[in-house]
Amino acid sequence: METQVYIDGSYYPKSQAKISVYDHGLLYGDGIFEGIRIYDGNIFKLDEHLERLYESSRTIMLGIPLSLDELRDACIDAVRTNGLRDGYIRLMVTRGLGDLGLDPRKCPKATVIIIVDRISLFPKEFYEKGLEVATVPTTRNMADALNPKVKSLNYLNNVLAKIEANSMGVPEGIMLNSLGFVTEGTGDNIFSVKNSTLRTPPTFDGALEGITRNTVMEIASKLGYTCEKKTLTRHDLYNSDECFLTGTAAEIIPVIGIDGRAIGKGEPGPVFKQLLERFRKLTRTDGVRAFPSDLAEGELFVIGFK
């Protein structure tokens, strides 16, 4: 069956799913999005993703035409409609149909789009053997110009960095801010592990407030590791015992080399392996079950609630 795409309350086959060329999401990148994973019928951290979406909407003054509960129901229904037990949800809210001017007041209603499909950012062998990355010339947008807590549709900053990583022959690039401090990858957060302490750049340096990042920190804390949101330099990364990236699509993936320098022993380390094992277990239990048949006998299921 062809993928069914939700647009403003109706479903359309992937080949027929369209929005107006006058939508300000297309014209100006004016909108927000979330990427959400589905693991064996469990929509992982759905509520956390929706809360972040609504925070983004308030910051950019974008009125979402559905309540949080209604949008929650719509995400669950989109998964069920497509029958995909393992996959990825791309939830988007654009400013909506307007004119060729920049003024968002010309857009009377936002457009809500939900795509349920499969995604794979990196080959399986990178999770087993690790990947090499490089810092790229394009700097991260200034945090006081565009708050990185807003997950905006305007991703050109990240796209340029990805192009540079591709041209350097590496699968991922690390972005620095205008002061030369580490921010994140082109689509993932970054962690440095040193002496059993996990460090990741803070939001004010330009890093996204990643849900997978926060989940990994929660897991690590329960395992007894110290976790810090701390400003990092390339020197810190080069001298890490371990390094890894985190993200909804990427999950947790080890970095074994940066800018030609081996990280640690040049292979995935024990902290990464321990975190990945715990993370994969959590993805099956923390979230919302999309299919009624998965519920235990006697559990109540009303779309999106149990």
151 is an active site residue: yes
Q: Can you say whether the dihedral through the CA atoms of 298, 304, 305, 306 is positive or negative?
A: positive
Tokens of 69: 């509960």
Is there a contact between 60 and 54 (Cβ–Cβ < 8 Å)? no
The region, left, alpha or beta by phi > 0 then psi within -120 to 50, assigned to residue 25 is: alpha
Q: Pick from 12, 298, 256, 220: which is nearest to 133 by CA?
A: 256
Angle at 267 between CA 262 and CA 45, to 5 degrees: 110
| Exposure on the CB side of residue 143, measured as CA atoms within 13 A | 18
- Residue 7, strand partner residues: 10, 113
CB 47: neighbour CB atoms within 10 A?
14
SS3 176: strand
103 burial (CB, 10 Å; 0-12 / 13-18 / 19+) is: exposed
| Exposure on the CB side of residue 277, measured as CA atoms within 13 A | 7
From 45, 151, 162, 229, active-site residue:
151
Q: Can you say whether the dihedral through the CA atoms of 91, 26, 152, 126 is positive or negative?
A: positive
Active site residues: 151
